[in-house]
Amino acid sequence: MYAKLRHRTEIVVVDGNDINPNSVLIILKSIWRLARSKTIIFDHSIPSGLRSGRHINVNVWHGSPIKKIRFLSVERFDKKFLIEQSKITDLVVSASSYDALLLCSALNVPYFNVTTFGLPRNDYLTCQRTELEDIDLYSENDVIESIVQEYDKSILFAPTYRGDSHIKNDPMLFDEVELVTLEKYLLENNIVFLVRSHKFSSFSDENRLLKMQNVIDVSDFRNPMLLLRHTDLLVTDYSSIWVDYLLLNRPIIIYTPDIDNYTKEHGFIFDFMESIPCKPLYAFNELILSIDERIKSKSISKKQTQFYDKYHGTKAISSSDELLKILL
C-alpha cells in the first residue's frame, strides 16, 4: 500500500517495532502524526484517544483468526480496549468471505464493513518478480534470494508465540537428540532451515536451534511475505501464516507437539483439526519423515486445495489496488 501511495499523497509510517517505550518524545510524535492523518491503515491496534469520525481507520489485520482473539477471548483482554478498538475501526480487510465472518466476530465489526477481495500484503506472493523492485520497501528480496540460492531447498519454520504476549517465551524447544537429527538431515540434503520467530517470542540461550548448521534466523526481516515467496516448504504450528502461503500452492506442515497446553492457554474458534489444511504432527520423528516426503514430492493434499478456495477464492489480481479504489 505504501509503495503505491507514496508518489500520490503524503504518507507517514509509524512502525511500533521502532518505537522505544522509554522515549516519551518519540511516542508523542507518533501519536501526533496519526492524529493529523486523514486515513490510518493498521494491522493490529491503534492508540487510544483517536476520535471516530475524524479519520478513516482501516484494519488490515496481520493474520486470519484460527485461535480465539479479541472478542472471542474476552477474558484475556481489557474490555475498554476491545470496545474502543471496535468503535474506531471503519473498515476491515479480509482474505475472503469466510475470513470476513471470522474477523467481524473477533473484532466486533459489522460484516458489511469487511472487504473480501483479498489482503494487500498477499500481492507480494502473486506479483511478478519484476514488480517487486517498486514495492520491496526494505530491499529484502535480493538478500533473501542470495541466502536460499546456496542450498538445494529451503524450509521456513514459523511458530507462533507461547504463553502471554507480554512475556517473550521460547517459541518451541527441541531436545538435543532432535537437534542433532535435524542438523544431520539438513546437511545431508543441502537444505536451509529458516527460522522466523513471532514478535512476541524470543529465543533463550537454552534454545540451541539457532546454533545448528544450515539453520538461519530470519526473524529480523520485516516482510514475511518475501520469506514465504522463497520457501519450498512451510513448517508452522498454530500460526495462521499458512493462510498466506496457500497462494503459492506449495506443501505445508503443521507441527503441534504441545497442543494440549496451547489449547488450554488460547483455545481455537473451531475444532483445530477442521481448521487447518493438513493433518497435524505431534512427534519429532513424524516431522522429519514428513519434511523428507513433502519437500521431495512437492505434493499438495486435496484438503489444502479446498482451503485455498475457502481463503482465496475471491482474491483480486491486486488486492492493494482494490483497497485504493475505496480510499482514494
Backbone φ, ψ for residue 192 (5° rounding): -100, 135
Same domain, 190 and 113: no
111-142 confidence digits (pLDDT tens): 999 999 999 999 999 999 999 988 898 899 99
**108 pLDDT band (50/70/90 cuts)?**
very high
158-215 confidence digits (pLDDT tens): 998 776 655 666 667 789 999 999 999 999 999 999 999 887 777 777 778 989 999 9
Strands 91-93 and 191-195: unpaired
Same domain, 102 and 143: no
Give strand ranges (E) for 96-175.
114-115, 153-158
Same domain, 167 and 297: yes
User: Does residue 20 surpass a pLDDT of 60?
Assistant: no
C-alpha cell at 286: 513424524
Counting the structural domains of the chain, the total is: 2
CATH number for the domain spanning 19: value is: 3.40.50.11820
DSSP state of 266: T
Question: How high is the pLDDT of residue 198?
Answer: 81
Q: Which element (helix H / strand E) includes 57?
A: strand 56-59
Question: In which domain, by residue range, is 268 found?
Answer: 139-312
CA distance 237 to 272: 11
Residue 129, in any domain of the structure: no
CA distance 105 to 244: 20
Mean pLDDT of 28-54: 80
Q: Cβ-count burial of 307 within 10 angstroms (0-12 exposed, 13-18 middle, 19+ buried)?
A: buried
CA distance 89 to 59: 7
CA distance 69 to 48: 19
- 224 in Cβ contact with 147 (< 8 Å): no
Name every residue whose Cβ is closer than 8 Å to that of residue 79 and which is 6 or more positions away in sequence: none
Question: How high is the pLDDT of residue 25?
Answer: 79
C-alpha cell at 4: 503505491
Q: Report if pTM > 0.75.
A: yes
What radius of gyration, in Å, describes the C-alpha atoms of the chain?
20
Same domain, 246 and 112: no
Residue 132, in any domain of the structure: no
Residue 160, in any domain of the structure: yes
Residue 131, in any domain of the structure: no
